[in-house]
Amino acid sequence: MSVVEVTVKSQKGKCAFGHKVGDKIVFDGKSVKGDICYSALMVLLPKVYAMRYGVEFPWA
């Protein structure tokens, strides 16, 4: 299994949680490093899980 690092590439409007372009969140299988709102976590978690097991997405 691998570490997956997510970087905020763009932002539309203002994030209530304070995310901004350039912020990084690291998923290492044991913890999540960096601040992440529940909305972003729910969207990212299935993709991060898949990537940790070798799935390659064209946008990654």
pLDDT tens, 38-52? 888 999 999 999 998
Q: How many angstroms separate the CA atoms of 4 and 52, rounded?
A: 7
Domain extents in the chain: 4-52
Provide the percentage of residues in the chain whose pLDDT is more than 90.
43
* Model pLDDT, residue 2: 84
Identity of the amino acid at 58:
P
Residue 29 has pLDDT above 90, yes or no: no
* Model pLDDT, residue 45: 92
* Model pLDDT, residue 47: 92
pLDDT band at 24 (very low <50, low <70, confident <90, very high): very high
